[in-house]
Amino acid sequence: MSLPPAKRERFREISERLTELGQEFAKNIRENTTRLQFTVEECDGLPQSWLDRVPRDDDGNVVVSFDYPDYVPFIMNARNEEARRRYWFAYTNRGTPRNLEVLDEIVALRKEIADLYEVPSFAHYVTKRNMVETPETVNRFLTEVRNVVTQAELRDLGALAELKAEMTGLPVEQARIQRWDAAFYRERLREQRYAIDQEALRKYFPTPAMVAWMLDVTSRLYGLRFERATVPLWHEDVIYLDVFNAGGVRASSRASEGAPEARTTPIGGIYLDLYPRDGKYKHAAAWPVRGVSARTGRKPISALVTNFNREGLTHDEVETLLHEFGHVLHGVLSNTYYLAHSGTSVERDFVEAPSQMYEEWASRVESLALLRTHVGDAPAIDESLVQRLRASNKFGAGVDYGRQLLYASFDMALASENPGRTLDVWSLMEGATPMGYVDGTQFPGTFEHIASGYAAGYYGYMWAKAIALDLLSAFGADIMNDEVGRRFRTMILSRGSEEPARVMVERFLERPVASDAFFVHIGGE
């Protein structure tokens, strides 16, 4: 929809201001130099490797920042509740009060964009380009999620409160799980109930072998061959792979791919940059380096960037590896006529579906059985370990999805017709959850997704997860079924955004999309 000139000018001003505000918001968090001190006694429970790494002050106290590697192990492992509370409280306020003002201005400007386009809300403006099409579909979905997740969250918190009572000697009625308790007791429960210690899993999942395994699984599933190639690289750790169609496979709807030259000419390329180094991006991500265009003969290239331990991966990291590689495959296996339709250029609430789907290959006997040929002397993964991993991953789904639901609902509220002040909206909404709102906390000032391009789109993580689990159902009991894999490649991955995601997904499933599998998943147990 095009705007008349005066409105177009105002839209341009708003867009520029939103970019500035988004950058300021991120900067206020990133450049927050606050440090907290904890005595060594307050750090009881933390792994020795963490204690060896963090700096000390002159009195021998540990000095920590708001970086994940400082904070996450602390909140998961520190036995001292008051220390956890103090760190959690500061962490929740790390956005600084200024970020609340920034966010209020962002929200008001977005409402003005909706007014310029004469739609009722910013959510209407955003969702019309998404799979859901309207805010009503999102809100209906979130209501369905709430119906399932509330019970699951209360059940999880009940189990954690029992453990807290047992470990602290408090009567269970007084052992209420606070926000700074949830991660700690959840880890303890995982250890007790499922005998899963993420750190100890690294010996089962040697990093280079896991990459070889993932390429093996992918080759079988989608009819591919990966070959290391010599190209200019930005660091000696980086690997480049040519991607070929495996011999005799006619994997795509496009006739050219089944032709003999497709077996000797790469269909695309992949950079793998797996290990940490100074100055490198700190998270895990996949980026399209170049999109495909069958019209001009452009080959797609994607990059996978992670910061893995060289020795081995935790199970969570195996899932991360597969997740990001799912994005890579969406880019590299796409074979669209136009560049504009290539790879991950799909609706924003669909883009996480293929990647979330691929995580499942980390937790199934059929795919993990293929590890044997890659891991050498590493201990074997038996069925009992796979079952325990699955059960342990499931535990806490109520707490996790309760939080996701709150984030998504808050995001939709700020993008609604009457947004209100962000902290007021948040304290009311968080106050209505089982763990409640803690006075003086300012979580919205840290919520970068909402300040950036994810506004009115946070629901997309859960929506795409529902699609992912629905897609997965096509594989049934055998996740290595290559006939389904090739159909998935042809009907979804190779198509990019040539058609609306819903049309392609429903053609693949041969039925309308359904969220049943997702509701079972978030219900846990």
* Interacting span for Zn ion (CB under 5 A) from 209-217, 354-362, 379-387, 509-517: 354-362
Nearest-approach distance from CB 352 to Zn ion, in angstroms: 5
* Interacting span for Zn ion (CB under 5 A) from 36-44, 142-150, 236-244, 346-354: 346-354
Q: Which two tokens stand for residue 17?
A: 């201001």
Q: How many Å apart are CA 156 and CA 522, to the nearest integer?
A: 12
Q: Per rule CB under 5 A, is residue 306 in the interface with Zn ion?
A: no
Please check whether residue 353 is in contact with residue 467, taking contact to mean a CB–CB distance below 8 angstroms.
yes
- Residue 266 or 331 having the CB closest to Zn ion: 331
Task: Select from 198, 189, 168 the least CA-distant residue to 73.
Answer: 198
Nearest-approach distance from CB 475 to Zn ion, in angstroms: 20
DSSP assignment letter at 525: -
- Residue 452 or 481 having the CB closest to Zn ion: 452
Nearest-approach distance from CB 307 to Zn ion, in angstroms: 16
Active-site position among 42, 319, 324, 352: 324
Give the CB-nearest residue to Zn ion. Answer: 355
371: left (phi over 0), alpha (psi -120 to 50) or beta: alpha
Nearest-approach distance from CB 327 to Zn ion, in angstroms: 6
- Residue 348 or 374 having the CB closest to Zn ion: 348
- Residue 123 or 321 having the CB closest to Zn ion: 321
Exposed / middle / buried, residue 310 (Cβ in 10 Å: 0-12, 13-18, 19+): exposed
Question: Positive or negative, the Cα torsion across 500, 503, 504, 506?
Answer: positive
Nearest-approach distance from CB 7 to Zn ion, in angstroms: 35
- Residue 320 or 335 having the CB closest to Zn ion: 320
Nearest-approach distance from CB 273 to Zn ion, in angstroms: 17
Nearest-approach distance from CB 355 to Zn ion, in angstroms: 4
Phi, psi of 353 (to 5 degrees): -70, -50
* Interacting span for Zn ion (CB under 5 A) from 153-161, 215-223, 308-316, 345-353: 345-353
Helix axes 96-116 and 422-431, enclosed angle (nearest 10): 100
Examine the residue annotation and report whether 13 is marked as an active-site residue of this protein: no
Q: How many Å apart are CA 276 and CA 375, to the nearest integer?
A: 22
| Other residues' Cβ atoms within 10 Å of the Cβ of residue 436 | 13
Q: Per rule CB under 5 A, is residue 320 in the interface with Zn ion?
A: no
- Residue 231 or 285 having the CB closest to Zn ion: 285
Nearest-approach distance from CB 483 to Zn ion, in angstroms: 26
456: left (phi over 0), alpha (psi -120 to 50) or beta: left
Laid out side by side, the sheet with 239-245 consists of: 224-228, 239-245, 268-273, 301-305, 285-290
* Interacting span for Zn ion (CB under 5 A) from 119-127, 129-137, 352-360, 496-504: 352-360
- Residue 186 or 327 having the CB closest to Zn ion: 327
Q: Per rule CB under 5 A, is residue 355 in the interface with Zn ion?
A: yes
- Residue 352 or 400 having the CB closest to Zn ion: 352
Secondary structure class of 4 (helix, strand, coil): coil
Give kind and range of the element (H or E) at residue 303: strand 301-305
Question: Positive or negative, the Cα torsion across 494, 471, 473, 524?
Answer: positive
Binders of Zn ion: how many residues, by CB under 5 A? 2
Q: Token pair 């998404």 is at which residue?
A: 130
Q: Which two tokens stand for residue 174?
A: 């007084």
Bridge partners of 305, per DSSP, are 273, 285
Please check whether residue 211 is in contact with residue 325, taking contact to mean a CB–CB distance below 8 angstroms.
no
Q: How many Å apart are CA 162 and CA 172, to the nearest integer?
A: 6
* Interacting span for Zn ion (CB under 5 A) from 117-125, 241-249, 292-300, 353-361: 353-361
- Active site residue ranges: 324
Residues in the site for Zn ion, rule: CB under 5 A? 352, 355
